[in-house]
């Protein structure tokens, strides 16, 4: 697909920003297209920081979207909210979000593809089912799914701008000293254990806010708000400050609480502006049985 457009802007703008706006794609996808040489300004390939102005002729060649080689599966979904633009899904513990090696079936993506059919976003050049953010296999709770590209772009921008409010609850080892606080520590790939993340100086900025809900016998029930969304962020940050999530078999102590079948971490609520109406929407998921049962065992 080829797109030609003469700039009709009254002030200068960066080329990557302009391409993302005109083509209706994310900034990261615009950068990929620029790097591949598919964009010219007045017949010349220019860097992403090039300022385009009124009168410039920008030629954008968008490649055909890749197909997403995953089969739809009729798997029940716990849908908290649905309209023509989006879904809010309550993911159970044990379900993988995206298919990968060893997990090609039974994922949230398989289920969403079956449920929504063709009504899914295809952002960033891949026809995939609108997954805007992830939670780990053994983390339960709320996820946003976009049904079209316009909704995907709006919601993705809110996540990037931190105006999409995501709140988690967890039970962690030990007694936190403060009633509330912030962990501000960069996260990147573990230098030795490549499947894990770690707090490292060269990592990306990561900020997690926490507050104590209840102090228990040897554990603490806390609420967490994400300011950024790095892989395994909550689990890595809590382990970094000496209070790993109960049941975490990767970042927690070697003696794992096996009855939890994974970390005691739940994506409790999410709030965002609707991509069409602008209305502020907020949804909350009840704590699942594994979580409440563990709380009761800690209290007793």
Q: Are residues 86 and 218 in the same domain?
A: no
From CA 238, how far away is CA 243, in angstroms rounded? 5
pLDDT of res. 278? 95
Domain boundary among 143, 161, 179: 161
27: pLDDT strictly greater than 80: no
Q: Are residues 52 and 37 in the same domain?
A: yes
The average confidence (pLDDT) of the chain is: 88
HSE, side-chain direction, 13 A CA sphere, residue 185? 17
Q: Are residues 127 and 15 in the same domain?
A: no
Q: What is the pLDDT of residues 38-80, one digit of tens each?
A: 888 888 888 888 888 888 888 887 766 555 567 889 999 999 9
Range of the domain at 262: 164-300
Among residues 297, 12, 294, which one has the least CA distance to residue 140?
294
From CA 136, how far away is CA 145, in angstroms rounded? 16
Q: What is the pLDDT of residues 75-133, one digit of tens each?
A: 999 999 999 999 999 999 999 998 876 777 889 989 998 998 877 766 554 545 678 88
| pTM for the predicted model, two decimal places | 0.79
pLDDT, mean of residues 182-195: 94
Q: Are residues 53 and 115 in the same domain?
A: no
For the record, the structure tokens of 272 come out as 């965002």
Q: Any idea which residue has 């952002």 for tokens?
A: 123
pLDDT of res. 1? 45
pLDDT of res. 61? 79
pLDDT of res. 58? 84
Domain boundary among 17, 40, 61: 61
pLDDT of res. 6? 47
pLDDT of res. 7? 46
What is the total count of domains within the chain?
3
Q: Are residues 74 and 187 in the same domain?
A: no
pLDDT of res. 46? 86
Is the model more confident about 274 or about 101? 274
Domain boundary among 123, 140, 161: 161
Among residues 231, 223, 186, which one has the least CA distance to residue 206?
186
Q: Are residues 222 and 285 in the same domain?
A: yes
- Would strands 265-273 and 140-146 be described as parallel, antiparallel, or unpaired? parallel
DSSP state of 100: B
Cβ atoms of residues 142 and 282 within 8 Å: no
For the record, the structure tokens of 32 come out as 């990929």
Q: Which of 45-49, 185-189, 268-272 has the lowest mean pLDDT?
A: 45-49
Q: Are residues 180 and 128 in the same domain?
A: no
Q: What is the pLDDT of residues 155-165, one digit of tens each?
A: 988 988 889 99
With 0-12 CB in 10 A as exposed, 13-18 as middle and 19+ as buried, what is 276?
A: middle
Q: What is the dihedral of CA 87, 92, 94, 98, to 10 degrees?
A: 0
> 141: domain CATH number?
3.30.2350.10
HSE, side-chain direction, 13 A CA sphere, residue 113? 20
User: What residues are annotated to the active site?
Assistant: 136
Ramachandran quadrant class, 218 (left: phi over 0; alpha: psi -120 to 50; beta: rest)? left
């Amino acid at each position: 697909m080829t797109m030609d457009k003469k700039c009709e802007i009254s002030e200068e703008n960066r080329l990557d920003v302009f391409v993302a706006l005109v083509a209706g794609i994310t900034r990261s996808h615009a950068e990929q297209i620029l790097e591949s040489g598919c964009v010219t300004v007045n017949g010349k390939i220019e860097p992403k920081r090039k300022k385009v102005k009124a009168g410039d002729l920008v030629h954008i060649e968008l490649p055909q979207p890749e197909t997403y080689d995953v089969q739809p599966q009729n798997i029940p979904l716990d849908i908290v909210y649905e309209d023509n633009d989006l879904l809010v899904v309550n993911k159970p513990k044990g379900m993988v979000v995206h298919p990968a090696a060893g997990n090609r079936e039974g994922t949230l993506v398989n289920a969403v593809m079956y449920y929504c059919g063709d009504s899914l976003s295809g952002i960033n050049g891949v026809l995939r089912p609108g997954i805007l953010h992830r939670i780990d296999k053994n983390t339960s709770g709320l996820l946003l799914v976009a049904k079209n590209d316009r909704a995907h772009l709006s919601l993705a921008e809110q996540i990037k701008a931190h105006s999409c409010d995501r709140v988690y609850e967890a039970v962690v080892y030990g007694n936190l000293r403060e009633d509330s606080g912030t962990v501000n520590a960069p996260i990147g790939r573990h230098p030795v254990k490549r499947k894990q993340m770690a707090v490292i100086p060269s990592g990306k900025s990561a900020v997690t806010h926490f507050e104590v809900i209840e102090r228990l016998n040897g554990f603490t029930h806390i609420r967490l708000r994400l300011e950024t969304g790095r892989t395994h962020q909550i689990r890595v940050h809590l382990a970094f400050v000496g209070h790993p999530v109960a049941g975490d078999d990767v970042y927690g102590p070697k003696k794992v609480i096996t009855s939890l079948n994974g970390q005691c971490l739940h994506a409790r609520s999410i709030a965002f502006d609707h991509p069409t109406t602008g209305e502020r929407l907020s949804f909350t998921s009840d704590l699942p049985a594994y979580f409440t049962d563990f709380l009761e065992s800690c209290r007793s």
